[in-house]
Amino acid sequence: MMNYMTLANLTKKYSRGKGDEIHALDSFNLTVKKGEFVTILGPSGCGKTTALRIIAGFEEQTEGDVFLKGENINHVAPYKRFMPMVFQSYALFPHMNVYENIAYGLRALKKSRDIIRNDVAMACQVVNLVGLEKCYPGELSGGQQQRVALARTLVLKPEMILFDEPLSNLDVKLRIQTRTEIKRVHRMLGITVLYVTHDQSEALSMSDRIVIMNHGRTVQEGTPEEIYNNPINSFVADFIGNANFISAEVEEIEGKRVTIRLQNRIIVVKQENPELSFSEGEEVYLAIKPEATGISSDKADFTGIVDTRSFQGSHTEYKIEFEGSFINIHQSNMGKEIQTYQAGDIINLKFDKDLFHLYKK
Amino acid sequence: MNKSFGKIRKDPRLLITASIITLLLILFILYPLYSAFKMSITGDGGISFSVYREVFTQKQNIRAISNSLVLATLTATFSTFIGFTFAYSIHRAIIPGQKYFRAMAILPLISPPFMFALSHILLFGRNGLITARLLGIDSLGIYGLNGLVVVQTMGMFPLSYLILSGIVRAVDPDLELSAMNLGARRLRVFRTITLPLTLPGLLASWLMVFMGSLTDFGNPIIIGGDFNVLSVQAYLEFTGMGNLPRGTALAILLLLPTLFIFTLQKQILKRRSYVSASGKSVRNSRGLGTPGISRALFIFCLMITVFILLIYITIIAGSFITLWGEDWSFTLKHLSYSYDVGFKTLINTLLLALISTPITAAMGILIAFLATNKDLPGRKILEFLSLLSYAIPGTVVGIGYVLAFNRSPFKLSGTAFILIAVYVFRNLPITVEGGIAALSQVSGEIEESAANLGGNSAYILRRVTLPMIRPAFFAGATYAFIRSMTAISAIIFLISARWNHMSVLILAQTEIMRLGVASVMSFVLIILISIIIFLGSQMTKLKGTGLPASLKQLKAY
């Protein structure tokens, strides 16, 4: 597969007056292959939307280049880039009805009336808008508006579509529904997608590849599974897995085997993260995901005290006081006779030791 | 609405207050209007429209009508264009100095009505700095249509700016970006997105300036020259020739379009909002601008700004130059002369403005209270009456007051009271509208939550409602004060030897070409107004603009 789009050393500085500068983007690099679904995931203010707007040509980078199919498009006007975007606010034209909104791009391209009518009808079919053509955006529900925004880009038969947090204005149920919808369209039409979001479950469920971003830089890049299973640092572990962090001290290092002492017990962690190296006696974070910890009344290596319990349906969340801090544990509610615990109960904890990760403090 | 508060609103004393205010509105707004109308149709005893027939057969009157329309059309078009360019440059483009451009775009609103005309004479007149000195020509023909268009446009484009800045800001910049993103070139985006979305604002601006230009009196009387307009013609017939019916009829002709425009623009602005159903992007974006476009906008704004500054500097310079165009030496004699001639008038002007200001603001808030009280019968009538004077040209008000209050039982002419009445009832609409806007924010959940937290009605009124409408009160007061200090078209009919007004005095000095003295007086007025605006903005606590929000609705003269 060829590189469809490349960002090279993209830097964007905003001056806040008096010599104070913020780097919205700091030498950001990214490649997107043809037909790929790439998600840029990061907290708000990490620079992901800035990157998207530079790609679309709405903003100009301070340094660096944007390549499209090998061609530098730094100075190409936004209307010549043909990378239609679905905006977070949808940006539907309020004075035009659904039909006119969808036809807008085709009209700008001076397509014939017949082609426009035909293509708009097709687009309406693809995103399930048939019958709403005469409605104005103000008369549509959030989900319908979202679909108009999508149809407006699809109708142009683009090679690539940009999404800027397109689902953040929808309620939870609709969000999950639309997620599948977008994924279906991506697969059906083979369009290259660059998707920006701060929602980890969106990123994990839709992407071929995720780029985790923070402070204008790439933190980690990989498939959803890679990132979920092996977060490169505590930021990613926290952001994507809501990991629990437990303070501990390194006792001994033997190649990849790092020995940690916790509650007077020895834990051996396989340290395979090439980015990190530890020394003996160092204070580190031991990270473990909420679903990788079990609670049992059987005797186990570790104990904690239940602080709060909240029932979530498929699972129950416990907040446990452990080693002077709090950790979250998810207990599945599947199966019969699940024992529940109340605040103040002393419980035994079972960690899945293969799922431990070590991070710098 | 919580119950305890509802009780206050149902108080019978309220009905009495409402009745008294309605009577006052009828007496000071409708009755003068009626008097003027009666005068124009009772020629030889019986009711007849002969005066109007006369007006429409006399060449000079027909010319005055067509002149007024031509002038208003041109001024409205130019003002809207400049106002839109400013609004777009300040709120959409990314250019340096936006804060300063904004300040300059509002500055003309606080100036005495015909200061621009005065400055125009100093710059471009027969002895003008630019015409006679720099270019060595006699005059650019400033007396007449050209000069009037320039002068009115400079004075009134701020109104366009204020109307349009709100509209331009309400248009989500993502819409333009999205259009471009879908492949539309800039011009197409402007034509298909920007223009349609701002059209209601453009129309409203055009109509408001049209109305302002039509009813303007100060500028045409100074630099109109042979170019006669209706407001001046009405004044000359009424006061100069003493032909009361004909003067009144001409003024009534002004009233018809303003009433029409007043209702029309309300309708337009009511339908203006295309509410986007979702969140709006607040990102600072370049929008449609290329560096080239930004540069062009910057240069345009800079040129207008420099021109406005030049006007003000000219007035200040004119105050201290012995004889403009002949003897450029420094002098204080204009200052001392102005003190001798004008000090008493200045004090009186200030006094009457200070008396009428709190009355206007308090009455406005009171009417707003009544008009938002759903239990009060006839509250819509009350609101309509109080807003009506928006639509009545100053000339009609002036003539109406002369006719209505020159004999018993309401013999008021020549007193200070008639001037105060004019100030109060002419400036009432803005304070009423501001009050209604503020109250509609207060009512409902805020009052309910205050009651829910245990406040009794008096406590709620004192601690919640009043503090929340305080900004509206002071904004209205500031506005009323500025308007009182810069009034001309109505009060020129009503001043007396005892109670003169600075504007009229400046006008007189300009007419006899004592331009230095006129400059001093204008300068002093501007300083006084600036001080009051500063105090007012401190009270309303509006950061950034330095100007009360109510100025947004400041109507052109």
The domains of chain A, with CATH numbers, are 3-229 (3.40.50.300), 242-360 (2.40.50.140)
For B150, list phi and psi in degrees, rounded to 5: -60, -50
Q: Is the Cβ–Cβ distance between A302 and A262 less than 8 Å?
A: yes
In this structure, is residue B219 part of a structural domain?
yes
The predicted model gives B520-524 an average pLDDT of: 93
Same domain, B170 and B309: yes
Average pLDDT, chain A: 89
The dihedral through the CA atoms of B127, B129, B133, B135 has a sign that is negative
Same domain for B66 and B3: no
Are both B326 and B365 inside the same structural domain? no
B277 in a domain, yes or no? no
Flag whether residue B285 sits within 8 Å of chain A, measured between CB atoms: yes
Which of A28-32, A239-243, B410-414, B439-443 shows the highest mean pLDDT? A28-32
How many residues are present in chain B? 557
CA dihedral B57, B59, B60, B63 (to 10 degrees): 100
DSSP string, B510-545: HHTT-HHHHHHHHHHHHHHHHHHHHHHHHHHT-TTT
Contact A93 B179 (CB under 8 A): yes
| Residue A109 distance to chain B (closest CA, Å) | 7
Written as six digits, the tokens of A160 are 């690539």
Statement to judge: residues B86 and B26 lie in one domain: no
List of long-range contacts for A106-110, beta carbons under 8 Å, 24+ apart: A106/A155, A106/A156, A108/A79, A108/B179, A108/B182, A108/B183, A108/B184, A108/B185, A108/B188, A109/A156, A109/B183
pLDDT at B550 over 50: no
User: Cβ–Cβ of A152/B283 closer than 8 Å?
Assistant: no
Residue in chain A lying closest to B180 (CA): A79
Q: State whether B346 and B204 are in the same domain.
A: no
Give domain status of residue B281, yes or no.
no
Residue (of A266, A243, A265) closest to A328 by Cα position = A243
Per-residue pLDDT band for B402 (boundaries 50, 70, 90) equals: very high
- The pLDDT confidence band at residue B281, using thresholds 50, 70 and 90, is very low
A109 touches chain B (CB under 8 A): yes
Q: Which residue has the higher pLDDT, A31 or B275?
A: A31
Please indicate, yes or no, if residue B133 is contained in any of the structural domains.
yes
Q: Torsions phi, psi of A63, nearest 5?
A: -145, 170
Q: Are strands A37-41 and A209-214 parallel, antiparallel or unpaired?
A: parallel
Report residue B43's pLDDT band, with 50, 70 and 90 as the boundaries.
Answer: low
CB spacing of B184 vs A104 below 8 angstroms: yes
Boundary residue ending a domain (B331, B355, B378): B331
| B327 and B365 inside one domain | no
- Cα dihedral B510, B515, B517, B519 in deg (nearest 10): 100
- Bridge-based pairing of strands A244-254 and A283-288 is antiparallel
Q: How confident is the model at residue B546 (pLDDT cuts 50, 70, 90)?
A: very low
* pLDDT for B140: 59
Q: Using the predicted structure, report yes or no on whether residue B548 has a pLDDT greater than 50.
A: no
| First CA to last CA distance, chain B | 40
**Smallest Cα distance from A137 to chain B, Å:** 8
**Which residues does chain A have within 8 Å of residue B184's beta carbon, measured at their own beta carbons?**
79, 104-105, 108
Asked if B192's CB is within 8 angstroms of A104's CB, the reply is: yes
Q: B345, B349, B306: which is closest to B529 by C-alpha?
A: B349
B431 and B305 inside one domain: no
Per-residue pLDDT of chain A (361 residues; tens, 9 = 90+): 568 999 999 999 887 766 778 888 999 999 999 999 999 999 988 999 999 999 999 888 999 999 999 999 999 999 999 999 999 989 999 999 999 999 999 999 999 999 999 999 999 998 889 999 999 998 999 899 999 999 999 999 999 999 999 998 888 888 888 899 899 889 988 999 999 999 999 999 999 999 999 999 999 999 999 999 888 888 998 888 788 888 888 888 888 888 888 777 788 888 877 777 888 888 888 888 888 888 876 777 788 889 998 988 888 889 998 877 888 888 888 876 778 888 888 888 888 877 888 888 7
pLDDT at A11: 93
- Residue B279 in any domain: the answer is no
Residues B177-221 have pLDDT tens digits of 999 999 999 999 999 999 999 988 899 899 999 999 999 999 999
B276 located within any domain: no
Residues of A within 8 A of B276 (CB-CB) are 89, 92, 94, 137
Give the Cα separation of B354 and B344 in Å (integer).
Answer: 15
Query: Contact at 8 Å (CB) between A294 and A303?
Result: no
Q: Which domain holds residue B197?
A: 48-270+292-331
CA distances from B81 to B88, B192, B272, B292 (A): 11, 18, 19, 19
Furthest-apart CA atoms within chain B: distance in Å: 77
Query: For residue B175, which residues of chain A lie inside 8 Å, CB to CB?
Result: 91, 93-94
**How is A252-304 classified by DSSP, letter by letter?**
EEETTEEEEEETTEEEEEE---TT----TT-EEEEEE-GGGEEEESS--SEEE
> What band does B443 get if pLDDT is binned at 50, 70 and 90?
low
Surface of A (4-63) touching B: CB under 8 A: 49, 53, 56-60
Q: Do B52 and B182 share a domain, yes or no?
A: yes
Which CATH number characterizes residue B187's domain?
Answer: 1.10.3720.10
B178: which chain A residues are within 8 Å (Cβ-Cβ)? 85, 87, 91, 93
Last residue within a domain, chosen from B300, B331, B362: B331
Residue B452: count other Cβ atoms within 10 Å of its Cβ. 10
Top-confidence residue, B526 or B407: B526
The reported pLDDT for the residue numbered B302 is 96
Residue A271 · residue A278 · CB < 8 Å: yes
Residue B407 has pLDDT above 90, yes or no: no
d(CA B315, CA B510): 12
Select from B178, B275, B282 the residue whose CB has the most chain A CBs within 10 Å, as the one to mutate to test that interface: B178
Residue type for A32, please? V
**Are B264 and B383 members of one domain?**
no
Return the amino acid letter for B60: Q
- How close does chain B come to A237, measured CA to CA in Å? 30
Chain B hits for A92, CB-CB cut-off 8 Å, are 276
Contact check, Cβ <8 Å, A78/B180: yes
Res. B232: pLDDT tops 60: yes
Taking 50 as the threshold, does the pLDDT of residue B117 lie above it?
yes
Using pLDDT thresholds of 50, 70 and 90, give the confidence band for residue B11: low
pLDDT for A261 equals 80
Q: Which amino acid is at A322?
A: F
Closest Cα to residue B183, out of A80, A245, A241, A266?
Answer: A80
- Burial of residue A154 (number of CB atoms within 10 Å: 0-12, 13-18, 19+): buried
Smallest Cα distance from B288 to chain A, Å: 9
B143 closest CA partner among B235, B229, B226? B226
Average pLDDT, chain B: 84
Contact A108 B277 (CB under 8 A): no
Residues in chain A with CB shorter than 8 Å from the CB of B197 are 94-95
- The total domain count for chain B is 2
Of B281, B304, B331, which closes a domain? B331
Identity of the residue in A82, A89, A92 whose CB atom sits nearest the CB atom of B183:
A82
**Per-residue pLDDT tens over the stretch A125-154:** 988 899 999 999 989 998 999 999 999 999
Out of B183, B276, B281, name the one closest to residue A79 (CB): B183
Instruction: Say yes or no: B518 and B554 in one domain.
Output: yes
Alpha carbon of A122: minimum distance to chain B alpha carbons (Å): 18
Residue A307 near residue A321 (C-beta atoms within 8 A): yes
Query: Chain B residue closest to A56 (CA)?
Result: B181
Q: Is-contact B492 B450, C-beta < 8 A?
A: no
In a domain, B283, yes or no: no
Q: What is the pLDDT of residues B319-344, one digit of tens each?
A: 998 888 788 888 999 999 999 989 99
Give me the pLDDT at residue B544, please: 37
Per-residue pLDDT band for B242 (boundaries 50, 70, 90) equals confident
pLDDT at B29 over 50: yes
B192 in a structural domain: yes
**Residue B106 and residue B100: Cα distance in Å, rounded?**
10
Yes or no, beta carbons of A84 and B184 under 8 Å apart: no
Same domain, B33 and B52: no
Read off the pLDDT of residues A7-41 as tens digits, 9 standing for 90 and up: 999 999 887 766 778 888 999 999 999 999 999 99
Pairing state between β A302-311 and A357-360: unpaired
Residue B272, chain A, CB below 8 Å: the answer is no
Read off the pLDDT band of B543 (50, 70, 90): very low
pLDDT band at residue B351 under the 50/70/90 scheme: very high
**Would you state the pLDDT for residue A171?**
87
Question: Helix, strand, coil % (nearest 5) of chain A?
Answer: 25, 35, 35
Interface test mutation site (partner B, options A61, A83, A92, max chain B beta carbons within 10 A): A92
Same domain, B441 and B540: yes
Yes or no: say if B60 and B189 are a contact pair by the CB < 8 Å rule. no
